[in-house]
Structure 1
Amino acid sequence: MTNTIVVTDRLTKRYGERLAVSDVSLTVRSGEVYGFLGPNGAGKTTTLRMLLGLVRPTSGSATVLGHGPGEPGAVARTGALIEGPGFYPYLSGRDNLRVMARYQRVPDRAVESALQRVDLAERGDDAFKSYSLGMKQRLGVASALLGEPDLLVLDEPTNGLDPGGMADMRRLIVDLAGQGQTVMLSSHLLSEVQEICDRVGVIAGGRLLAESTVADLRGGSTLLVRADPVDQALAVAMRVAGDDAVQLLDDGLSLELGEDWAPELARALVGAGVDIREIRPSERSLEDVFFEMTGDAAGPGVGAAAPVEEER
């Protein structure tokens, strides 16, 4: 049975009259990359802060690595980057990490390893205040890696990175999970979550709407058919797939069939004298699923990358 690293039960946080997080029950398993997906303001950061013991929940409960949030047993085995890194501006990146390493009683050699892993070793002696937003973000991830924690909690880890930096960060996260570490990350970038996460929790308006694997959320593939005449193609498709498995679209037909059915469907269409323009498998993206689930609740803050500050 897979070990659970994080478990919450109806976790709720209210600020006065505003309900920031409502009855969130989720489970993060050992060795996986768990994506906490939702628009800006959905309650992602508040939930992560409760898991780290930085915010006390109004109601509900949580356990992290078998301990209560913020307890020494959980803190010692957790690395985190929440709401952007905070460092001494006039110290170098390397010295900032050394301060943190000594506070955590981690040897200095861990600092060099962390800088290498986030590709900051060559800029480690530069003052933190001279770093771009993306470099500051990478240094924050480096600080979370100190001490080889069992659990990494990363809030928007690719924020401020250019496309190359984003790709590097995704590879790093996947590598960490491959080495047995568990990563829980929040993001509003659906393509990012779809690419690297094993399971996701979808949150909007403070409520957890779904928790599943990315594949299960997206569902199985369908066949997209564009053919003429459409009415004749529709009749053939319904005969092959069944009446309820065919949907008429603006630009063709959608059949709830796997791509293995394409040859049989093509033969049936040609045999009926239908001119085939296209047959191809089609899969729903995580973005499609998200907007189906949330409707207008998602707002403009989901799916598009945040403005990028040029890497230096």
Structure 2
Amino acid sequence: MDNDDALVLRTEGLTKRYGDRVAVDGVSMTVRRGEVYGFLGHNGAGKTTTLRMMLGLVRPTAGGATVLGHPAGRPDTTARVGALVEGPGFYPYLSGRDNLRSLAHYRHLPRTEVERVLSLVDLTARGDDAYKGYSLGMKQRLGVAAALLGDPELVILDEPTNGLDPAGMADMRELVVSLARDGRTVLLSSHLLTEVQEICDRVGVIDHGRLLREAAVTDLRGGITVRLRATPHDTALAVATRLAGPGGVRTLPDGALGVDLPASAAPDLTRALVTAGADVHEVAPSERTLEEVFFEMTTPGARATRPESTTSPKEPVS
């Protein structure tokens, strides 16, 4: 049970319908103070609509969100939250620096704050260039800089690495980690699951508007299991299933078998395969990636066998 004092954000039964279409369906999730929380889902799964309800930009059909101890959308709460949702929007003929200065002026922030956030996203040298001449990655950096104005307690970033090259993605990853290290809370929506695996403490997986699972990254991935290659395949599958149980064996993308046995069981598995007449090519410790878990959870077959993840019609906005 989460201590309310440790929570920065909580949603309870958060729901949004557009006519007969359900965009978000009863989402209840929590984000704890000082963590990096990954919000995962395919395009159209309901991520952005959920984020917009958290920010008070969209009114829920049912349920609600509490941010920093208050209902979402209150002005005093919004001032303590920085967000980049659905891409940045700036005046095209103003420079990046002047765009940020206009935002800072509106919020009664000093110009030194503009220079601070430009430095954080490595745009100081290009700050005087017109926004219309920025690359997609530079526009994304400026959007993140705008979200960091005023040193917010909670930072909500929707696909912040969109358009960045590998070096820019690495810089953004380090920035997100440093924000949490300095005591801020980051809610990160991303489709780059490798990055989420590296930097997030917990994740929530949403599919067709419903939250399938919320857990620590390590718990979601599970422990170290066994990767198996042996022929004939049918014999290997039968032996592995006998030892691991009917639900304990899966076929990996490259054709190998993932067997839900501890690595210490590898010798017993090998002996059983040899006794059954199989040729063993590989038995090695294996740990599932977040990407593998995500696709297992969100494939149609997985949804069909998971009663709590009944699908709803797709939302009109991703």
Question: How far is 1:245 from its partner?
Answer: 8.7
Partner of 2:71: 68
Q: CA deviation at 1:231?
A: 8.8
Residue 292 in structure 1 maps to residue 296 in structure 2: yes
Verify the 8 A CA contact 2:226 2:283 in the aligned structure 1: yes
Q: Corresponding residue for 1:256?
A: 260
Q: For residue 108 of structure 1, what is the aligned residue in structure 2? A: 111
What are the superposed Cα offsets for residues 96-131 of structure 1, whole Å, 9 maximum, x if unpaired? Answer: 111111212222111111111111111011011110
Aligned to 1:9: 12
Q: Please, which moves more after superposition, 289-298 or 228-237?
A: 228-237
Output aligned runs, 1:1-312, within 5 Å: 1=3, 3-227=6-230, 247=249, 254-262=258-266, 264-265=267-268, 276-296=280-300
Closer, same or farther: CA 228–294 of 1 in aligned 2, 3 Å = closer
Report the identity percentage.
Answer: 63
Q: Is the alpha carbon distance of 1:91 and 1:261 closer, same or farther for their aligned partners in structure 2, counting shifts above 3 Å? A: same
Q: Secondary structure at the match of 2:198?
A: helix
Q: 2:206–2:213: 8 Å Cα contact kept in structure 1?
A: yes
**Conserved 8 A contact 2:270-2:280:** no
Instruction: State the Cα deviation string for residues 198-235 of structure 1 (Å, max 9, x = none).
Output: 11111111111111112211212211233568799789
Give yes or no for contact 1:97–1:111 (8 Å, CA) kept in 2.
yes
Distance 1:297-1:193 versus aligned 2 partners, 3 A rule: farther
- Give 1:166 shift: 1.4
The TM-score with structure 2 as length reference comes to 0.83
After superposition, the CA RMSD in angstroms is 2.9
Counterparts of 1:100 and 1:297, CA distance in 2? 47
Question: Which residue is equivalent to 2:308?
Answer: none
The alignment partner of 1:290 has SS state of helix
Give the length in aligned residue pairs. Answer: 296
Note closer, same or farther for the CA distance 1:249–1:192 as it changes in structure 2 (3 Å cut): closer
Residue 246 of structure 1 and its aligned partner are, at CA, apart by 6.6
Distance 2:59 2:264 in 1: 52
Distance in 2 separating the partners of 1:61 and 1:266: 50
- Contact 1:246 / 1:253 at 8 angstroms: preserved in 2? no
Structure 1 residues 190 and 234: CA distance shift in structure 2, 3 A: closer
Q: 1:234 to 1:155 in 2, by over 3 A?
A: closer
Change in CA separation of 1:131 and 1:168 when aligned onto 2, cut-off 3 Å: same
Instruction: Report the more deviating stretch, 206-215 or 137-146.
Output: 206-215
Distance across 1 between alignment mates of 2:151 and 2:94 = 23
CA–CA separation in structure 2 for the residues paired with 1:196 and 1:270: 39
Determine the C-alpha separation between the residues in 1 that align with 2:238 and 2:73: 62
**SS of residue in 1 equivalent to 2:39:** strand
Preserved CA contact (<8 Å) 1:227 1:275: yes
> Which amino acid counterpart does residue 209 of structure 2 have in structure 1?
G
Q: Equivalents in 2 of 1:21, 1:112: separation in Å?
A: 38
* C-alpha deviation, 1:72, in angstroms: 2.2
Matched residue SS, 1:125? coil
The answer for unaligned runs of 5 or more in structure 2 is 303-318
Q: 1:27 is paired with a residue of what secondary structure?
A: strand
TM-score for both structures, normalised by structure 1: 0.84
